Amino acid sequence: MRFFHNTKIRFMEYRWHWIIASTVLNLVAIGLIFFGPGLKLGVDFAGGTQLTLKFKSEPDLKRVRKALEALGLGDVTIQRFDEASAHQILVHMQNPKGQEGDYTSRMIAALEKEFGGAQAIEINLEGSDALRDTLAQADPDKAGGTVDERRAHYKAMADAILGLRKQVGVVTGPDQLAGLAALSPATRAYLAQNAHFGDFAVLAADNVGPVVGKDLRQKAIYAVSFSLLGMLIYIWFRFKLQYGIGAIVANFHDTLITLGALVVTQRPIDLPTIAALLTLVGYSTNDTVVIFDRIRERLKLERGKPLITVMDEAINATLSRTIITSGLTWAVVLALFIFGGDVINTFAFVLVIGIVVGTYSSIYIASPIALGMSNWIEKRKSAARRRR
């Protein structure tokens, strides 16, 4: 079986059409980023406190907002997370200007006041030690003995309840406890009577203060800039400067378009998103280097042929490889995008867009730039020769 075998597509002939199309797309992306809705920075870079909450049923977002705004601390944004049936939301709150500190506890306390019950035992928020101690205090099994003996008696039960919570995220009611073999009947009855199965559980909490936020931003910028520079120098050293520039411009092109797509979908930019963008840059460069390598090889074999023809031949020769590799990796990230769950969804999204753009840019951005610059350098050289 062979796809794209012995193709003779004259890629470079249409380069201007594609370069114009790319430029327009890039300008649109720049417009979106700087003059449109702008990049949505996630908690890593914007700072603030973010809670991932899972509710028992459809959460009342107005009540969530009201409870948090009553704290009078900072702007609150609420966003759905994962499919609707999971009843999960992301709540983000800015820290009061320039303030460091632990705002997570205050937010959780405010939500607990709004959605919690009057009872002391909050099944969905308590840690296992606290749960064990509450049971040891109440002692529904009449185990007796010292505090420590009673604690030992109830430890397994508390752990079983936490285990259940880890599985389901949020315990909806006493009937879910019925399935736990570790619980004694008396304890089960006691919990059904006295515990409150609060409306929500905290799945994750992130708090990034201004100092760390600034640090993360700065380091991310350094890391990305230097790694691009490293690539440029390596390609310059192995090929020629114009090829290095072509590859880097292609990287910017891919990143810009993907960032544009992130703006359109209003997905937040966090550290994992940066890792995804770097992965895309890696793929794009890989693709570009494969084509450049073939160009270099052909140039050695067929001296005197115009560069534009050599480039077309090189791109055609590597076309089946380009399509197969990109197609396969694209299939993998598509699988991640569809089945991978919400945590890696943005990551997969970046690659789903990025691999398409990155493959295209190796052919229509990196190569034409190397071609244009080479021709220009050639012209200047021959002009200089003529003058002499």
Partner 1 sequence: MQRKLTWRWALIAAVTAAAVFFMLPLDKRIHLGLDLKGGIHLVLQVNTGDAVRAEVDDAMERVRGDLTAKGFAPTTLQRLPDGNGFLLKPAANTSAQELNKVIDDRLPEFNVNRGVEITATLKADVARNIRDMAVRQGLETIRNRIDQFGVSEPVIQRQGLEGNRIVVQLPGVDDPGRVKDLISSTAFLEIKPVVSVAPTQEALLAASGGKAPEDSEVLSGDIEDIEGRVSGKEYYLVKRASVISGRDLRNARRSQDSYGQPAVSFTLNPEGAKKFDAYTAAHIGDRMAIVLDNKVRSAPSIRGRISDSGIIEGNFTVQGAEDLALVLRAGALPASITYLEERTVGPSLGRDSINRGITAGIVGLVLVAVFMLVYYKGAGINANVALVLNAVLLLGAIGALGATLTLPGIAGVILTIGMAVDSNVLVFERIREELELGKTVRNAISLGFSRAFGTIIDTHVTTIVSALFLFQFGTGPIKGFAVTLTVGLLISMFTSVFVSRTIFETELSRRAQAKTLSI
Q: Quick one: which of 89, 110, 183, 228 contacts partner 1 (CB under 8 A)?
A: 228
Residue type for position 96: P
The Cα 370–Cα 234 span in angstroms is 15
Q: Which is nearer to partner 1, 32 or 274 (CB)?
A: 274
CA of 355: how far to CAs of 28, 320, 322, 371, in Å?
19, 16, 11, 23
Window contacting partner 1 (CB under 8 A); options: 18-26, 31-39, 60-68, 124-132 = 124-132
For 171, the token pair is 């315990």
CA of 314: how far to CAs of 242, 317, 366, in Å?
17, 5, 13
Residues 320-339 that bind partner 1 (CB under 8 A): 320-321, 324-325, 328-329, 331-336, 338-339
Is 348 buried (19+), middle (13-18) or exposed (0-12) by CB count in 10 A?
A: buried
Window contacting partner 1 (CB under 8 A); options: 18-26, 59-67, 128-136, 304-312 = 128-136
Nearest approach, Cβ of 248 to partner 1 (angstroms)? 11
Q: Which is nearer to partner 1, 190 or 292 (CB)?
A: 292
Nearest approach, Cβ of 373 to partner 1 (angstroms)? 19
Q: Is residue 235 near partner 1 by the rule CB under 8 A?
A: yes
Q: Is residue 254 near partner 1 by the rule CB under 8 A?
A: no
For 151, the token pair is 């604690």
Q: Quick one: which of 10, 63, 219, 380 contacts partner 1 (CB under 8 A)?
A: 219
Residues 21-60 that bind partner 1 (CB under 8 A): 52, 54
Site size toward partner 1 (CB under 8 A) is 93
* The dihedral sign for the CA sequence 246, 252, 255, 260: negative
Question: Could you tell me if 76 and 51 are in contact, meaning their C-beta atoms sit under 8 angstroms apart?
Answer: no
Nearest approach, Cβ of 141 to partner 1 (angstroms)? 17
Nearest approach, Cβ of 238 to partner 1 (angstroms)? 6
Closest CA to 307 of 296, 320, 322: 296
Q: Is residue 84 near partner 1 by the rule CB under 8 A?
A: no
Window contacting partner 1 (CB under 8 A); options: 8-16, 164-172, 258-266, 302-310 = 164-172
Q: Which is nearer to partner 1, 249 or 290 (CB)?
A: 290
> How many other β-carbons are positioned within 10 Å of the β-carbon of residue 81?
19
Q: Which is nearer to partner 1, 32 or 348 (CB)?
A: 348
Question: Could you tell me if 315 and 309 are in contact, meaning their C-beta atoms sit under 8 angstroms apart?
Answer: no
Q: Is residue 211 near partner 1 by the rule CB under 8 A?
A: yes
Q: Interhelix angle for 345-361 vs 319-339, to 10°?
A: 170
Q: Is residue 207 near partner 1 by the rule CB under 8 A?
A: yes
Q: Quick one: which of 19, 25, 30, 271 contacts partner 1 (CB under 8 A)?
A: 271
76-81 and 88-93 strand pairing: antiparallel
Closest CA to 87 of 164, 166, 167, 169: 169
Q: Quick one: which of 23, 105, 193, 309 contacts partner 1 (CB under 8 A)?
A: 105
Torsion of CA 9, 12, 17, 18, to 10 degrees: 90
Window contacting partner 1 (CB under 8 A); options: 21-29, 61-69, 182-190, 210-218 = 210-218
Residues 166-195 that bind partner 1 (CB under 8 A): 166-169
Nearest approach, Cβ of 335 to partner 1 (angstroms)? 4
Question: Could you tell me if 273 and 350 are in contact, meaning their C-beta atoms sit under 8 angstroms apart?
Answer: yes
SS3 state at 15? helix
